[in-house]
């Protein structure tokens, strides 16, 4: 039980850190502070879980290859745009900003997870 709580807390902090970093880069996403980044990480994860659950009902749960990457990018941009409308302290600058922020979040998340992996810490992000 404690392991699950610890894993969730690490995931939450890493996700919020990634969102906060991308928000500071000026790539279509603005986040007012780390608290807003934590709330954003929770909302984005909930919305993503719902969308991927719905896609799974239609048999679109496992997308791979180039087409799967493009579909995942579109879904991530939609999730960011939707979450930006509801999360106080988070602003997404249009659809172009949502796509750029989605790409940036993917790259920064990969870098952060790679660094954590060097220290033996594993978690999943966004």
Using the structure block, give the residue that is written with the tokens 């920064």: 108
Residues 9-42 have pLDDT tens digits of 877 888 888 889 889 998 889 999 998 999 888 8
Give per-residue pLDDT as tens, 50-108.
888 888 888 766 666 777 778 778 888 888 898 888 888 899 999 998 999 888 888 88
Distances (CA, A) of 56 to 29, 61, 70, 83, 95: 28, 4, 17, 21, 25
Greater confidence (92 vs 113) lies with: 92
- Give this prediction's pTM: 0.76
Could you tell me which residues come within 8 angstroms of residue 25 by beta carbon, excluding any fewer than 6 positions away?
104
């Amino acid at each position: 039980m404690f392991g699950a709580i610890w894993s969730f807390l690490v995931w939450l902090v890493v996700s919020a850190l990634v969102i906060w970093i991308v928000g500071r880069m000026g790539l279509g996403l603005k986040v007012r502070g780390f608290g807003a980044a934590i709330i954003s990480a929770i909302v984005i994860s909930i919305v993503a879980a719902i969308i991927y659950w719905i896609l799974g009902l239609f048999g679109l749960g496992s997308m791979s290859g180039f087409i799967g990457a493009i579909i995942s990018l579109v879904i991530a941009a939609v999730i960011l745009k939707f979450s930006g409308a509801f999360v106080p302290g988070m602003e997404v600058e249009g659809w172009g900003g949502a796509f750029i922020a989605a790409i940036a979040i993917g790259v920064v998340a990969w870098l952060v997870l790679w660094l954590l992996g060097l220290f033996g810490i594993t978690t999943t992000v966004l």
